[in-house]
Amino acid sequence: MGAGGLDVLDGLDRLRLLDGPTPIQRLHRLERQLGPALGGTRLYVKRDDQMALGGGGNKLRKLEFLLGAAVREGCDTFITTGGVQSNHARLSAAASAYAGLACELVLARVVARDDPSYRRNGNILLDGLFGATVHELDGTADTLAFAHERARALKAEGRSAYVVGVGGSSPLGSLGYADCAREITAQEAALSERFEKIVVANGSAGSHAGLAAGFAAMGQDPARVRSFTVLAPEQDARRTTTVLAQDILALLGAQAEIRPDSIDVSGAERGEGYGIPTAAMLATVRLMARTEGLLLDPVYSGKAFAGFLSDACNGAYGEGKAALFVMTGGVPGLFAYQPAFETDAF
């Protein structure tokens, strides 16, 4: 059935935030650096960090559908939730500015840090530049309940808000990554390459679930996608990702099925938890910067790329095969993690 299972995407309301397909590039220098340990595996990255709007990153793919719905419904305000250093919040602020909507961010102090880099620099600095109103709550607060309260308060003033939960990973938002599966399939044909695995970080699960559902809807194996959870423990992340992928397929009206055993989630790189640096993350961010001049982020892609390389060097992708890592952005987070890079021995 080819891409046919995803034709429904073309009929949905969508606010275009990307300029077109993001590039896929091979990591020649990193391959040479890792040498025979790689067993001839070809390493590629998909540059979902390379988008023009708001510093770029994976959340823009979801926001195309979420803002498309907000605009269609005639909303004047976009409200979303996240942690203080949320990339999703920052890109929601940028995309709302571009769409001409007001933006309110309900951010929780989920990471136990109080230093100025974390509280004021990185994403939260940019939230303010993009003109968003920030509500900062304690780590235990129910941010989504607060967001809905704000929407009610705005409604009483005659305004109309569109509320989106953490990471934009509703089934609708996650369609952005179902479409990315179609994009990757077209790029494989153009490159005459076939990726054994497509690897991504897993936070709110929409990227993994969207890709898996997209491949399944095209009649491909959803187990081609593997993620490294940086937030929920492995079992929880697998369960959440499976249910979300099934909901996305239902929204697509696709006949395909996704079973729990085709959702490949690893907890190997999570460390002590969300937003807490690991030695492997710090080493991997530095390795990528020094060999390829490319920036990973400290919360998501730095941890996931460490897992991608560890799998590659353990022969997971097979002799002479190719594997693709989805670079998801998050570069502003580096500025919030300045103390971690400073104290880590170079």
Ligand X SMILES: *Cc1c(COP(=O)(O)O)cnc(C)c1O
Read off the amino acid at residue 39: G
Query: Looking at beta carbons only, is 122 or 329 nearer to ligand X?
Result: 329
According to DSSP, the β-strands at 225-229 and 102-109 are: unpaired
In the complex, what is the shortest distance from the CB of residue 301 to ligand X, in angstroms, rounded to a whole number?
5
Q: Should residue 206 be labelled a site residue for ligand X when binding is judged by CB under 6 A? A: yes
Backbone phi, psi, residue 139, to 5°: -60, -25
Question: Taking the alpha carbons of 76, 82, 84, 85 in that order, is the dihedral positive or negative?
Answer: negative
Q: Considering only residues 301, 305, 323, 337, which one is a binding residue for ligand X as defined by CB under 6 A?
A: 301
Q: In the annotation, is 117 catalytic?
A: no
Q: Should residue 167 be labelled a site residue for ligand X when binding is judged by CB under 6 A? A: yes
Identify the active-site residue in 86, 169, 170, 301.
86
| Angle of helix 59-72 versus helix 87-99 axis, rounded to 10 | 40
Rounded to whole angstroms, how far apart are CA atoms 285 and 287?
6
Binders of ligand X: how many residues, by CB under 6 A?
20
Cβ-proximal residue to ligand X, closest one: 330
Residue among 180, 175, 168 nearest 20 (CA)? 180
Find how far residue 155's CA is from the centre of its chain: 31
Choices 52-60, 102-110, 178-186, 314-322 (CB under 6 A): range interacting with ligand X: 52-60
Q: Which residues pair with 320 in a beta bridge?
A: none
According to DSSP, the β-strands at 322-327 and 161-164 are: unpaired
Q: Should residue 266 be labelled a site residue for ligand X when binding is judged by CB under 6 A? A: no
Query: Looking at beta carbons only, is 87 or 220 nearer to ligand X?
Result: 87
- Per-residue x/- track, 186-205, ligand X (CB under 6 A): ---------------xxxxx
Q: Should residue 57 be labelled a site residue for ligand X when binding is judged by CB under 6 A? A: yes
Q: Considering only residues 127, 179, 183, 297, which one is a binding residue for ligand X as defined by CB under 6 A?
A: 297
Residue among 223, 206, 198 nearest 326 (CA)? 198
Choices 23-31, 144-152, 214-222, 326-334 (CB under 6 A): range interacting with ligand X: 326-334
Q: H helices then E strands: how many in the chain?
A: 13, 10
Query: Looking at beta carbons only, is 77 or 202 nearer to ligand X?
Result: 202
Query: Looking at beta carbons only, is 154 or 205 nearer to ligand X?
Result: 205
The interface with ligand X within residues 70-89 (CB under 6 A) comprises 87-88
At which residue do the structure tokens 């001409």 appear? 100
Residues with active-site annotation: 86
Binding site for ligand X (CB under 6 A): 57-59, 87-88, 167, 169, 201-207, 297, 300-301, 328-330
